Amino acid sequence: MGKTIVEKIFAEHLVDVPFEDTQVIKLDAVFCHEITTPIAINDLVARGLDRVFDPDKIKAVIDHVTPAKDSKTATQGKILRDWARRHNIKDFFDIGRNGVCHALFPEKGFVRPGYTVIMGDSHTCTHGAFGAFAAGVGTTDLAVGILKGVCAFRTPQTMKVNITGKLQKGVYAKDLILSIISRIGVNGATGKVMEFTGDVVEELSMEARMTMCNMAVEAGGTCGICAPDMTTVEYLWPFIKDEFSSKEEALTQYSRYCADADAVYAETVEIDASEIVPMSTFGYKPDQVRPVSEMKGTAIDQVYIGSCTNGRIEDLRAAADVLKGKKIHDSIRAIVSPASPAIYAQALEEGIIKIFMDAGFCVTNPTCGACLGMSNGVLADGEVCVSTTNRNFSGRMGKGGMVHLVSPATAAASAISGQLDTAQ
């Protein structure tokens, strides 16, 4: 019987099967940020277990509230910073070098095909774009990962999401994943890894694949995953060029993680990309999705472009294409947060930051801040935000606020119109 991608990765990393249906796997990387890690650190210290399994496999960043907004967030940063120093964790990204974890860590080359990764953050599923198994976990799993380099999972099942057809102009990975979540529901992939396959996925850039995998958890998925191919190798080449004699050799090696032709899937979902149009959420759940064309005219107060879903260079380019030479509507305010310093620098070099500023956007440093209503763009009660982020839960960007999740192009078009609008 053939194996899916995640089954191959688990087989290669298996440490123990303590009980039927439970697999303990070895971890290649443990990612940490300042919201969920400090309590794990304090817990380990209190238990007399203040150790790390391998400082080179632990990567840490301050990203959720940065620079700190108050004493409490400053303390969270300090606990993480002191711990990273104490354990000689070299890949620690402090203020000035920090970015949104799921944008920063991939661009540093920390994720490779076949890797197993955990982080105390539900959007860790993003890294499956590299053909890796990457899962969000709680603080206790994180603490054990830090201490022992292992994590326990139920034996994974795979849902195949096969995407064929052709994406129309002005339709993006965000529209695609919102459509998929709408189709299967917020509980549709619970306990399963979502393996994205098909011509459309093969043509997507790494950035677009990350957008897709990022929102797997919004359908309940453990991880989104894309088979490694030449696009993956090209992206990683600067980091792996000393390990392989050629890109072709790297591809051959990584291809061992591709699913077998006779792999068994718990479920298969077929998506025709040709039918998909720009989408927006309308309620408080990520599966409440409608074509933007049906929601045109919805009043808004703020536009936000950024986050681990859509704060990468390709996203900023798509928004800037719409904004170029135009101004945002008088009645709203707009914020853009490039997701990492490298993205920020690239956007400066390409003149994208100038386009945003000329249009009337506030440009902030890289941070998660507004996405979860912590800083840099929190909504007031009753306000509405068109946002490129990943969750429209009630109160997510501020108590009493409403969030409409859209692509960067739709966000930019809405900023110009002062109401929900498409770029098409």
Chain positions contacting other proteins, by CB under 8 A:
15-16, 18-22, 24, 35-36, 38-39, 42-44, 47, 49, 64-65, 70, 72-73, 75-76, 79, 120-122, 124, 136-141, 143-144, 147-148, 150, 152, 154, 186-187, 190-191, 220, 222, 285, 372-374, 391, 393-396, 399
Query: Two tokens at 356?
Result: 């945003």
Comparison of 21 and 242: residue with beta carbon closer to other proteins: 21
For residue 203, the minimal CB distance to other proteins (Å) is 30
Enclosing H/E stretch for 270:
strand 267-272
For residue 22, the minimal CB distance to other proteins (Å) is 4
Closest CA to 145 of 37, 61, 46, 45: 37
Closest CA to 393 of 33, 122, 77: 122
For residue 80, the minimal CB distance to other proteins (Å) is 11
For residue 361, the minimal CB distance to other proteins (Å) is 24
The DSSP annotation for 28-84 comes to SEEEEETTTHHHHHHHHHHTT----S-GGGEEEE--SS-S--SHHHHHHHHHHHHHH
Pair 280, 410: CB distance under 8 Å: yes
CA 27 to chain centroid, in Å, comes to 19
For residue 166, the minimal CB distance to other proteins (Å) is 32
14 to 20, 153, 155, 339: CA distances (angstroms): 14, 11, 11, 34
Comparison of 269 and 378: residue with beta carbon closer to other proteins: 378
Comparison of 79 and 295: residue with beta carbon closer to other proteins: 79
For residue 276, the minimal CB distance to other proteins (Å) is 24
Comparison of 103 and 151: residue with beta carbon closer to other proteins: 151
Show the beta-strand stretches assigned E in 47-186.
58-61, 92-93, 116-119, 133-136, 150-154, 157-164
SS3 151: strand
Dihedral sign from CA coordinates of 68, 71, 76, 82: positive
Comparison of 124 and 407: residue with beta carbon closer to other proteins: 124
Enclosing H/E stretch for 195:
strand 192-197
Comparison of 304 and 344: residue with beta carbon closer to other proteins: 304
For residue 109, the minimal CB distance to other proteins (Å) is 24
Comparison of 17 and 348: residue with beta carbon closer to other proteins: 17
